Amino acid sequence: MGTAPVVGGLVALGPLLAADGLGLGVAAVSEPGPEPAGPAEAAAAAAMPPRRRLEFLAGRRAARRALRAVGLDCGEIPRSGRLPVFPPGRTASISHSTGIAVAVAGAPGRDLPLGCDLELRPLPREAARLVLREDEEPLLPDAGLPPGADAVWSVTELFSAKESAWKALTVMTGEGREGPADSLRGLRVSPREDGLRVCLRADPARAVRVRVVRVGAGAFSYVIGRAATRG
């Protein structure tokens, strides 16, 4: 699938995210004239290899578009380490895959965790052991069922969902981002009516709801809110 159809398909998801109080922004590295929005972005981009520079700037454009979708303006977005630093009252989550950047922003007053992930390269079934634990493997395709049928999900969809949740459930410390222990295997994913529930294995009460949308052979996922504690 070429870049234009993927970008168009992602942009078409804007109303779906808007219903959840989220803004969506999409940008491609192939857009003409990608320029930093200010000196901090320029300094960060200048130190990067050419491909990474294009991805970085596309991610910033996507974040500004996501914020504009919820009525917020935003100039340059500097970074601390590898993390974007947004002005007060503005926040977004950014992801990149195969030359496309996507971002999700929260509407003003929406005090809920944010996280998104785009995976346009499908993962093989053998990668499941790097993402899932034994109690999650029943979610994978079995008996010839297609991904997404009867609460069955592909490895790519589950990986993407966990990546989104990881971003939403991380804690910011003085040293940077502190994620769940054991990386993605430190999270547990389970199906629910409107998508997936992902929680910390070490603290199951810390959980989020994640929606996953197929994009070609890949997946786009985003956190839609906190998940209720299960008894």
The alpha-helical segments, DSSP class H, found in the chain are: 3-11, 14-18, 39-46, 50-69, 128-131, 155-169
Please report the pLDDT score of residue 193 as a whole number. Answer: 79
What order of strands is seen across the sheet that includes strand 100-106? 22-28, 100-106, 92-97
Q: Do 218 and 97 touch, CB atoms closer than 8 A?
A: yes
> Which residues, listed in sequence order, are joined to residue 171 by a DSSP beta bridge?
178
Q: Which of 96, 116, 112, 113 is nearest to 104 (CA)?
A: 116
What pLDDT does residue 179 have?
58
**Token pair listed for 196:** 């997936």
pTM: 0.91
* Confidence (pLDDT) at 175: 52
**Residue 128: predicted pLDDT:** 92
The 10 Å Cβ neighbour count of residue 178 is 11
Q: Average pLDDT of each block of 10 consecutive residues along the chain (231 residues)?
A: 86 96 96 87 93 95 96 91 87 95 93 94 92 91 54 90 92 56 85 89 92 94 88 43
